[in-house]
Amino acid sequence: MERFQGRTDLALEATERFEDDQVEISGVKITEYYRQETDIKITKVVIETENGSKVMGKPRGTYLTLEAPNMSVPDEGYHREVSEELARQIVQLIGDRQKEKSVLVVGLGNREVTPDALGPDVVGNLLITRHILREYGKIAMEKEKVNAVSAIVPGVMAQTGMETLEILQGVVGETKPDVVIVVDALAARSTRRLNRTIQISDAGIHPGSGVGNHRQALTQETLGVPVIAVGVPTVVDAATIVHDTMESLVDAMGQSERLRRLGDSLASLDTSEKYQLIRELISPQLNGMFVTPKDIDETVKRIGFTISEGINMALQIE
């Protein structure tokens, strides 16, 4: 039976479909740890081989996932803790915090579409220093060592008529950064990860892949410099919602004497059969539908600030 998968940009969710079948993935290493003081779970997925890349459907590289259940809540103290954890993980991928670097931050997405406005919102809150250093030198920053930080919001193809890669190749060629940090909104397979999860990766990013708009990849191979991708899932597709609803329905049926037999029948279906049933239940129109929470306006602004603070911290030379 054909396997139907909900769209996801998260490497963590790509590994979970193999956990259901209790299958180890050759060429992929997964480690988890939990910070009890901040209630943040961190999962590290390292795709080491081409075989692992093919099976996972992701490029080779390191994928760090921060799951913060309260990130969608307007708690400034908690968001500060998330920013600090994000900064630690970015520093690990960039390396050598004591060395001065030129860093280009790219805010992907469309300002006019709220769930896709995360990248532009992050750039709007960044501490930009490249122009100050070029004009006045380090004395203006009152520090001995300062990273030269620049940023750009390239927009989307419908607005510019150009691939994001084409724009960034020109910018990178002129400004010659040591590293590029790309921020984008992602798609998740699980509704519980919406606006509560941050993925950081050194494998670059494929803009629009989560919603089926396949644009040219932004990677070290295409840009000529290391690319760190930071993203938060802000949308899920209709199939994901139907699947989650089915799981809840099965649990509810198990509590009823009259419906328990039907619930047991649905629970006995394996992952492939469940997704096949979902395909038959939802109409072709719903297959292309993506959904986002109703408070997405405030949430994107809040999370955008949290991520920008994390990047600002990561780029401070201690």
List pLDDT tens digits, range 271-280.
Answer: 666 666 776 7
| Amino acid identity, position 175 | T
Contacts of 271 (CB under 8 A, 6+ apart): 3, 17, 20, 21
Residue listed under structure tokens 């300002």? 111
pLDDT of 311 higher than 90: yes
Q: From CA 149, how far away is CA 23, in angstroms rounded?
A: 43
Confidence of residue 162 (pLDDT cuts 50, 70, 90): very high
Task: Report angle CA 82, 83, 87 to the nearest 5 degrees.
Answer: 115
Q: Which residues pair with 188 in a beta bridge?
A: 236
Helices (H) and strands (E) in the chain, counts: 13, 9
Which tokens belong to 256? 């009823």
Pairing of strands 179-188, 102-107: parallel
Give the H/E segment covering residue 150.
Answer: strand 148-152
Which tokens belong to 140? 């203006």
Q: Please give the average per-residue pLDDT across 1-9, as a whole number.
A: 55
Residue listed under structure tokens 């629009």? 208
Per-residue pLDDT reduced to its tens digit, 71-126: 988 889 999 999 999 999 999 999 887 889 999 999 999 999 999 999 999 999 99
Confidence of residue 150 (pLDDT cuts 50, 70, 90): very high
> Higher model confidence: residue 108 or residue 192?
108
Ranges 20-34, 87-101, 222-236: which has the least confidence: 20-34
pLDDT of 212 higher than 70: no
Alpha-helix residue ranges (DSSP H) falling in 95-136: 118-124, 130-136
pLDDT of 140 higher than 70: yes
Q: From CA 139, how far away is CA 55, in angstroms rounded?
A: 51
pLDDT of residue 222: 95
Confidence of residue 4 (pLDDT cuts 50, 70, 90): very low
pLDDT of residue 45: 94
Q: Which residues pair with 102 in a beta bridge?
A: 148
Pairing of strands 179-188, 227-237: parallel
Q: Please give the average per-residue pLDDT across 3-14, as a whole number.
A: 71
Q: Which residues pair with 265 in a beta bridge?
A: none
Residue listed under structure tokens 């039976």? 1
| Amino acid identity, position 64 | L
pLDDT of residue 2: 38
Q: What is the pTM of this model?
A: 0.86
pLDDT of residue 141: 87
Which tokens belong to 304? 């955008």
pLDDT of residue 261: 76
Confidence of residue 174 (pLDDT cuts 50, 70, 90): very high
pLDDT of residue 41: 95
| Amino acid identity, position 32 | E
Give the H/E segment covering residue 90.
Answer: helix 76-94
pLDDT of residue 284: 66
Share of the chain above pLDDT 70, in %: 87
